[in-house]
Amino acid sequence: MNLIPLPAFSDNYIWMLHDGRKAVVVDPGDAQPVLQALQRDGLQLSAILVTHHHADHTGGVDTLREATGASVYGPARERIPEPLVRLGAGDHVEVLGLRFEVFDVPGHTAGHIAYYCPEMDGSPLLFCGDTLFSGGCGRLFEGTPAQMLASLDSLAALPDDTRVCCTHEYTLSNLKFARAVEPDNQALSQYTAQCEIKRAQQLPTLPSSIRLEREINPFLRSRLDSVIHAAQAFDAKAKSETSVFAALREWKNQF
């Protein structure tokens, strides 16, 4: 199976999975990069997976559905171009012979979902939309800090070798913030150097892995003393788990 991030707009990735004949895409905000890839590699689009309703994740859905007849899957509780199969926690979807479990991960939007495949070519695979980024997390447009913390906890509990397919190339700017939170984190310094080399060569920094994110992502590390102290230096009133997480998110918004 091939796993390819198709660049779109200024910093989006539309993830494509294909087996040489049939393809699936995730969050096609723009149809053109997908249509070009299908034509270039002689692929038939069989399904479109959508994580949430934002236009940079859904803008290409109608065009692709009309051009290819692909089935569309998306969150049960958000406004997505119809017709689509509506999914929520506990549902699953089978595409390209792979079984994806659906998680509810509210926070960035109220009805955001993620797609998790326990095994593809030897390791798990996660399409998490704008919930988890490498070194960061999505902005809280519709959900609460408590919801986002619970959503990130559920993703952080996935196996170490889970490939994390985020939908934006935000890694370097996220790592700049992460280093402000944890200046003494060696894994973070090493990872930053690796990502700088990749971006200098215009290569994606993704997919990441759950193991790596647990080591370097402050939003998955908000219960560690070092991260709590840094968050409290930004907001001295942050005492509870949720308020520490909220302070981190607000600090990043202003960073």
Query: Catalytic positions, please?
Result: 52, 54, 56-57, 108, 130, 168
Among 18, 54, 65, 168, binds Zn ion (CB under 5 A): 54
Binding of Zn ion at residue 213 (CB under 5 A)?
no
**For Zn ion, which is the closer residue by CB, 65 or 168?**
168
Report d(CA 204, CA 207) in Å as an integer.
8
Binding of Zn ion at residue 112 (CB under 5 A)?
no
How many of the chain's residues bind Zn ion (CB under 5 A)? Answer: 2
Residue 145 C-beta: closest distance to Zn ion, Å: 17
Residue 77 C-beta: closest distance to Zn ion, Å: 15
Instruction: Show the binding pattern over residues 116-155: x = contacts Zn ion (CB under 5 A), - = does not.
Output: --------------x-------------------------
Tally of CA atoms within 13 A in the half-sphere of 20 that contains its CB = 1
User: ∠ CA(57), CA(136), CA(158), 5° rounding?
Assistant: 85
Binding of Zn ion at residue 249 (CB under 5 A)?
no
Contacts 24+ apart (CB under 8 A), 160-163: 160/209, 160/210, 160/211, 160/214, 161/123, 161/124, 161/209, 161/210, 161/211, 162/116, 162/123, 162/124, 162/125, 162/126, 162/209, 162/210, 163/3, 163/123, 163/124, 163/125, 163/126, 163/207, 163/208, 163/209
**For Zn ion, which is the closer residue by CB, 202 or 253?**
253
Binding of Zn ion at residue 18 (CB under 5 A)?
no
Report d(CA 179, CA 146) in Å as an integer.
24
Residue 53 C-beta: closest distance to Zn ion, Å: 8
The window from 54-62, 70-78, 82-90, 223-231 that contacts Zn ion (CB under 5 A) reads 54-62
Chain contacts with Zn ion (rule: CB under 5 A): 54, 130
